[in-house]
Chain A
Amino acid sequence: MKRMMQWGLSLFFMLTASNVFAAVENLNPEGNFKVIPGLLMIGLLVLFVVVGVFAKAKNTEDYWAAGRGIGQMGGGAAIASNWMSAASYLGMAGLIYLQGFFAISYVLGWTGGYVLLLVLMAGPIRRYGKYTAPDFVGDRYYSQAARLLSALIVILISFVYAVGQYKGIGMMFNWIFGIDYKTSVVVGTLVVLAYVLISGMLGATKNMQVQYVVIVTTFLLPLFFIAHKLGYFSAVPQIGYGAALYDIGHGGNGLTAEVAEPSFYLPFIKDTAYHWFALCITLMLGTAGLPHVIGRFYVVPRVSDARWQVVWGLFFIALVYWTAPAYAAYAKFSNLLGTSGVNIAPDAIVVNAAELAGLPEWFAGFLAAGAVSAAFSTVGGLLMSGTSAFAHDIYFRVLRPNATEETKMKVARIGTVVLGLSIIAVALNPPALIAQIVAVAFALGANTFFPLFLLGIWWSRTTKEAAIVGMIVGLAVTFGSMLIPKTSLLAYYVPFTSSSVVGVPLVLIVMIVVSLMTPEPSREIKELLYKVHNDE
């Protein structure tokens, strides 16, 4: 198993090294320290650590599942901030800015997946009553090997996902403090590690609620001023950008028809409908298969609460997702108008939008601070789920079942540090745009955990052999799609951000065939599933 992990890691490093477009734009070449944004940022970091200290985890039960005592709305806010990362805050608007309507598939993929998650997964998973995703896999598929493999996949997903977040943190620290990108990544990471270590998940859950408030305030507020400055309906700037879209495509509001870019709003100019579909469905299936999202269902006491917190969570997420395309549109509009003197990077377009519209620096600082909060809350959740996979599922369940509480806590802390530091190595030379890196994590979740949970819950005939083969095929498809030459026909139909369009059906078929060829699961498993589905 250790060898497999090493193999996986070295494969990942190989992939990263093989990519050429690694250079990150320097957003602050003069090295200016921006005072107000800097103070905002430091203030927020102190706040997070203080909240973490006050809500410190007392024992491992707290550390893993936060004592199961969080309400519907609170749970929703935690889901939302855990969910909304640098990819939602910075990456999505950046891709819409670059690719127009094509990137709307990110917006729909990352919201629509919740319907799938709620209808197919939330209730049964909560009723099944396990603490972590590998716990469920190990129990349902009555196999330590399946548990181990799934725990390794959890770590891998956390790893890939966090690389995108570190990039976001690095870029924002670069913009605010004027230190170069690489130093920013290291400094930012050390701060995240410090607060995850100080608090546990209970601290993290409280922190997530505070962070949600920070995320939504910083993201929504500057938009009013941007819309007002550009002369669009600014009472609800999320509606006002509709007219800006039309002007970008046709000219108007000071924009001549010659510089208009219809490719920004027309559906199939940047890419094909197939690719729109492939990306959107990958992100939707990934949403329903991400272990750190599924993990949120275990922290509520009642099944009904587990469901309602999805509704709240989705609503809280929507507030940001209705807003992100507006940033892209306003930035595009200002850019076409010809504003100069701003260092633009797609992954910083949200901050650039405020600069382009000519707002004072502290407005942009507001956004930069919010972006770091978004990245922090997600990295916190990811490190938690990655290290719990290691300390709880691998160390405690498989290697040392007799370990004491203290040893478990110690292993968890060491795991956090190792995972946190190893991510830095990749984030220093990020392989792609933030939202694309994160999309790969989603493809990985969709290709492995989604079929595992879907069949595990909804078809009691699924066997342990099928689970193991399924995970291996899922891993092969995800990493295979990254290794095939980018110009090949296969890479055209299976892009690395959207590999689940082929991966999920393939894994499902393989799992069904293998299940039918291997002996049925025991009667106990079937009885348990019957109870889960009939709430007995």
Chain B
Amino acid sequence: MEKEGLGQKDNKDININFFKPVGEFMTRDVTMSKIILAVWIVAVYGFLLLLVMAADPNDTVQVTLSTGEVITQVTGKSFLTEMRFLGFPFHYFYMTWFCIALFIAQCWWYCKFSDNLEAELGKAEKKPGQPK
């Protein structure tokens, strides 16, 4: 019997891999992490890509690169930069105000999720001093 118990323990997959989560806690935690990180990437760098793609191709500027080479590139002027929101050029408001607020909201969301997950799976810690 004892041997079987040990064998069972050995067979349990305990290899940790972000892309192959094991155990219920880790599986659900990783699923949430992926969603949050995907939103995070798209919100910042997706918008940057959008700025590049939406740029007016006729509005260009010469930029001297660190290599000394001079290239002509779009300034990025587009409806995103000319539209005004609360007085701001929209892209400026989006990046400096909205994204930071989004980061805080995402952190808040993840903390709520983690607290709930710990409570649900009976892993919430006791207050210090209380027996665990």
Task: Give the chain A neighbours of B115 by CB distance below 8 A.
Answer: 304
Task: Give the chain B neighbours of A243 by CB distance below 8 A.
Answer: 87-88
Contact of B128 among A101, A265, A280, A301 (CB under 8 A): A301
Q: Is A408 an interface residue (CB 8 A)?
A: no
Within 8 A of A (CB), among B59-84: 61, 63, 65-68, 73-77, 81, 84
Task: Give the chain B neighbours of A321 by CB distance below 8 A.
Answer: 96, 100
- Chain B window 41-57, contacts with chain A (Cβ cutoff 8 Å), 1 for yes, 0 for no: 00011001101100100
Pairwise interchain contact B23-A533, C-beta atoms closer than 8 A:
yes
Pairwise interchain contact A118-B91, C-beta atoms closer than 8 A:
no
- Chain B window 80-124, contacts with chain A (Cβ cutoff 8 Å), 1 for yes, 0 for no: 010011111101110111011101101110110011001001011
Question: Smallest Cβ distance from B127 to chain A, in angstroms?
Answer: 8
Which residue of B is nearest A284, CB measured? B44
Complex CA gap A432/B14 in Å reads 48
Count how many pairs of residues, one from A and one from B, have CB atoms less than 8 Å apart in the complex. Answer: 198
Pairwise interchain contact B16-A529, C-beta atoms closer than 8 A:
yes
Pairwise interchain contact A112-B66, C-beta atoms closer than 8 A:
no
Question: Smallest Cβ distance from A91 to chain B, in angstroms?
Answer: 16
Q: Is A409 an interface residue (CB 8 A)?
A: no
Question: Smallest Cβ distance from B26 to chain A, in angstroms?
Answer: 4
Contact of A314 among B52, B107, B114 (CB under 8 A): B107
Q: How many residues of B contact A (CB 8 A)?
A: 65
- Residues of B whose CB lies within 8 Å of any CB of A are 14-18, 21-26, 29, 33, 36-37, 40, 44-45, 48-49, 51-52, 55, 61, 63, 65-68, 73-77, 81, 84-89, 91-93, 95-97, 99-101, 103-104, 106-108, 110-111, 114-115, 118, 121, 123-125, 128
Known A268-B63, A271-B63, A530-B22; 8 more pairs at CB < 8 Å: A108-B99, A112-B103, A115-B103, A123-B29, A268-B74, A314-B104, A318-B103, A533-B29
29 residue pairs of the A-B complex, CB under 8 angstroms, read A104-B96, A112-B99, A114-B103, A115-B36, A119-B36, A242-B84, A242-B88, A246-B88, A263-B75, A268-B73, A269-B76, A270-B63, A273-B49, A273-B51, A273-B76, A303-B125, A311-B104, A314-B107, A318-B104, A321-B100, A491-B67, A492-B65, A495-B66, A526-B16, A527-B14, A533-B21, A533-B23, A533-B29, A534-B25
Shortest 9 CB-CB contacts between residues of A and residues of B: A242-B88, A267-B76, A242-B87, A243-B87, A534-B23, A460-B16, A458-B18, A268-B76, A530-B14
